[in-house]
Each structure stands twice: as structure tokens, then as C-alpha cells.
Chains A and B, each alone.
Chain A
């Protein structure tokens, strides 16, 4: 499919090259790594929300599950880090399978249940009764696998995979069928779309990339607490970034991350309340004045945005 290839070449490849080269010219590697993580998470939200209309308010559950999958593999089985990252992704997919029944819920109910599920996983992991396995609320320290350079490279690979999934969804009949389900699941099923199977596949793909991102995040930081990797900020930032740019496109979520996460880091953390205030106002303005995201400024004029 030429369009698929073209989109991957003009959007994904330049981004990947820039992100791969930047660490050698810019010294704040943690910041660059966070950009990579948010590119992945915003696109993960795009896969499930943009194409199927389910808003995953507890998206961080998969991320945290991936991080803890990584940590448990390294702590108890001394697994090599790349394998542990893959296991992190697998753990998130298993969690996604367990939560598949949530897809029966509509609209806000799905979001609330998903939020509750993420909090349930957090409290399970942070439970002092499970200290033997997860180290409970005291956090994990993985000194043996500490290797930020390799972890960053892993992040780039996962970003490449995620972008591949989104480009495929944007250009394939599968992605088109998903959007048909989002608009009107009844009519879609009438025209031969297997609604349940399609939704489940998108849901698991979205869980997979978040779990892999969580694994590679655990690898990069190597010391973390349950509250860090299950922080609701991850879900919310990913959703807001994706929406700000515009979902169901390839470029929208990426633009959202670059602009909003850029602003976030420019304002800085010196006075968190003022930052929170500005961010809250920005989110409200976005919903009230630009509900379809930045790309709608172009699509409104009839331009095609990949």
C-alpha cells in the first residue's frame, strides 16, 4: 500500500531519526526520553480513543503493569532487560484481556471503570501484604540492569512499532472498519464488521504499546515507587496531548506532545500551583474552543491531514 509507506516515510521516519540523533547534541537525556514515552502513550491513546471512541481514563494501568512486569522479571528471575521489556508488554496485554469485558460498557461508564481498574491494580501492587513479590509501597531498585543508553534505544524501537500501528490503522480497511464501529456500531455490524473482535484487537494493541513503554521506562529510571508508574498524570497527559493535536490522525498526537509537553517543560516546576492553574485553563479552553484538536484548523479548510 503506497500511502502506508509514504505516511511512514514522511512522518514517522523523520521523527525517529530526530529523536535518535538528539541525545548527542542535547544533554538533558531524561527530558528526551520522556518525550519518547509521551509520543508512545499519546499514540496508544490515539489507537483506542481515536479509532474506537473508548476514552481510557485509566490508561496508566497498562504502563504501570508493564513497569512492574519488567521489575519482577529482573528481580526474581534475573532476566536480561530486553526480554523483561517484552514481558512487560505481555503483562499489559494479559491485563487488557482481563479487562476486555469493560468494552461492553458505553461512553463514560467505560472511562470510569477503566479508571477504577487502574487504581485497583495500583492498590494491588502497592499492598504491603504482597511485599515479597512487588516490594509493596516501598518501591523497587533495579541496579543490575541500569543502562539509560540502551533503554533509550529501546524506547525508539517501541515508538517505531507504535507509529507503524497507527499508520496501518490510518490507511487500512481494518482502521476504516474501526472508525465505522466508533461512529455507529450497529450499522457497522450490519455491513459485516465483526465489532467485538475489532474493538478487542485495538484495545490489546493499545495495551501492548503502553506496557512496552512501561517496561522501557522501568529500565531507564530503574528506581521507582508504585505511585510514580501508576501516576494518573500519565493517563491524563497522554489523553490531553492526543486530543490537543487531534485524534484519528497520525500527526495530531505527535504535534500535541511537542507543543504541550514543550510548554510544560518551559514553564518549569518552580511553582507547581501556577503551572496546574495554567494547565487546567488550557485544557478547558481546548475543549470549549477546539474540541477536534489543532488539526481541525486544517481539516476545516478542507486540507487532508495524515
Chain B
């Protein structure tokens, strides 16, 4: 019982990192980024490239992936979004637009890298930290399993969960302690009023879009370790999972996403342990149940009822 609980919390924290970028993009722009999972997949390729080409610790991939996809997000925003928002029903059309975009990403990645499954040996993650840990706490400089409550967990899970917590705190600080973050929350709650008060909605939205994609790519750096391996086609599953996490939590609230991730992670691990053949059904049933019973999410305001 303890093992699935702790593993669920570790996985859940990671899942909240997976979902938080999607939350930000949808909350600010009312755009459904169906290509979210594909940016995750590209982040995984960044980690893979850094490990195979340069032999570096995949952790180095975090700042690289974040910077790379932040810039990509800013550029993409200006190409796609203003045009989209002139249409009659941007929310629905964004669904289709980003579906097309996800097809393009998947096709290009497949053309360049092929369809084979790739993985990175899990002890490579945070290998640079292992030496520091050994000199501080004694013991040998290997990246062996972590012990929590007397149970051992792969070090990569613990590292991913830690980075996720740090990332969520950063998003929280951005939204609640910086000027741009305050403007972002203004756009989230009432777009038209934000425009009326002279906020440069495009600039705020572009920043949120860039950060959202950057966070997806950071989550992607850990994907090879959390899911075992990755292929260009794994984006769509990641997108659905992200939706579950975001909807479980609530919109525009990073703490809600963290809670949603943990609830999802723990219930997933419990079902996996006790009813394994039904585990695949869980995310979908959970998603529908939450949407119907508590449409505003676990921590949200009422925003969704037609």
C-alpha cells in the first residue's frame, strides 16, 4: 500500500509538470494546444541528443530545452494565433489547427529520426549530481535507487519530481510576484476587460505561450525515464494525459494542476497495482467524471457550464 502511494506522489508531481504548460496556454488564450504532447516528445529528443551527441547529463537538457522552446513558442505565437483569433469560433478552430500542427511535428520527426523506440539509460540522469551527493553524505558516487520510508525508488523518479516541484514554484512566483504575471492573470480572468484597460494582450499571451511550450519541453526531458522509452508517435497519449491532469486540477491555477497531478498519479498507481487490466480506462473515466461532477476542477471557480 505504501509503495503505490509514494510512487503515485512522485509520478503525480511529474504529471503536474506535464500538464502545467497546457494549463497556462488554455487559461490565457482559450486555445486548445493539441500539439502539447508533441512538444514533450521534442523535449525528449533534446535530452536524447545531448546525451548521445555530447555525452552530457540529460539534466543539462532542461535549460537548453526551455530556452529553445520558449523562443519557438514566441515565434509560433505571432505566426498562428492573431490570425486564428480573428475567426468566428477560435476555441474550436484552435482544436483543429493544433491537431494539424501536431501531425506536422510528428511527420517531420519521423522523417528525420525514424520510428524506432529510443531510451536513455536511467542512471545517466543526474549523474553529475551523484558525485556531489557522495562527497556530501558519504557513500559511493553512483546513481543508485533512492530510499524513502524504507522502500527504494529509481533515482530518476525522485529527480523528476523534484524538478517538477521547482518548476511549479517558479510558475507560481511568475504569476503572483511579477508584473507580467499579474497582467497574465488579468487576461486569464477577463480578456475583454484586460484589453479595455490597455494591457497589451498579445505580448502577455505570447509570453505565456512561450513559457507553456518551454515547460512542456522540460517535462519531455524526463519522459524517457518516466515512460521507459519514447517514439515520435507518443505525443497524442501525452496530450490526453495532460488534459486529464489539467481538468482534474483547475484552470489558471498552478497549485490546482499540482493537486490534479498528484490525485491522478496516486489513483493511477493504485489501479495499476490492484486492478491492472482496467488501468488504461482510468484517465478517461476520471476525466469524464470530474468534468460532469465538478466542472470547475478540484480548486476552481465556476467557468465551464454551458
Interface residues of A (CB under 8 A from B): 53, 55, 57, 101-113, 115-117, 119-120, 123-124, 127-129, 185, 232, 236, 239-240, 243, 273-274, 276-277, 279-284, 286-288, 291-292
Contacts and interface: CB of A to CB of B under 8 A. Distances in A.
B288 A104 contact: no
B270 interface: no
Contacts of A243: 96
B89 A53 contact: yes
A283 B103 contact: yes
Contact of B107 (A103, A232, A280): A280
B101 to A, nearest CB: 6
B93 A287 contact: yes
Contact of A106 (B84, B277, B281, B305): B305
The prevalent SS among residues of B at the interface is helix
B130 to A, nearest CB: 39
B102 A111 contact: no
B104 A106 contact: no
Given A273-B107, A277-B108, A283-B97, A288 B83 contact: yes
Given A108-B32, A120-B288, A292-B88, A277 B111 contact: yes
Interface residues on B, range: 35 or more
Interface in B152-178: none
A156 B84 CA distance: 37
Contacts of A129: 277-278
B26 to A, nearest CB: 7
B304 A240 contact: no
Nearest to A243: B96
Contact of A113 (B84, B89, B100, B288): B288
B305 A108 contact: no
B304 A291 contact: no
B23 to A, nearest CB: 13
A109 B304 contact: yes
A202 to B, nearest CB: 14
Contacts of A116: 240, 243-244, 283-285, 287-288
A277 B104 contact: yes
Contacts of B84: 287-288
Given A108-B95, A291-B88, A284 B284 contact: no
B247 interface: yes
A53 B108 CA distance: 32
A291 B87 CA distance: 7
B75 interface: no
B96 A283 contact: yes
A174 B250 CA distance: 37
Given A104-B305, A105-B291, A273-B110, A120 B99 contact: no
Contacts of A279: 100, 103
Interface in B289-306: 291-292, 295, 304-306
B91 interface: yes
Given A112-B243, A280-B104, A282-B100, A117 B284 contact: yes
Contact of A239 (B96, B106, B305): B96
B284 A105 contact: no
Given A119-B240, A281-B104, A105 B306 contact: yes
Contact of B95 (A57, A102, A277, A281): A57
B284 A119 contact: yes
A102 B292 CA distance: 7
